[in-house]
Amino acid sequence: MTLAIMLMGMLTVVLSIYAGIVFYRFSNSSPNGKARLSGALMWQLYGEAVIGLGTVIFAAAAHNGSLPDWPLAAQSALRFSMFLATSVTTMHLVRTIKTL
Going from N- to C-terminal start, the domains of the chain cover 2-99
Most confident of 3-12, 23-32, 54-63, 66-75: 66-75
Residue 24 has a pLDDT of 87
Tell me which DSSP letter residue 1 carries.
-
Give the C-alpha distances (Å, rounded to integers) separating 24 from 5, 53, 55, 59, 80: 28, 20, 25, 30, 26
pTM score, whole prediction? 0.84
Which amino acid would we find at residue 91?
M
Q: In the chain, how many H helices and how many E strands?
A: 3, 0
Q: What is the pLDDT of residues 38-95, one digit of tens each?
A: 899 999 999 999 999 999 999 899 889 999 999 999 999 999 999 999 999 999 999 9
* pLDDT surpasses 80 at 30: no
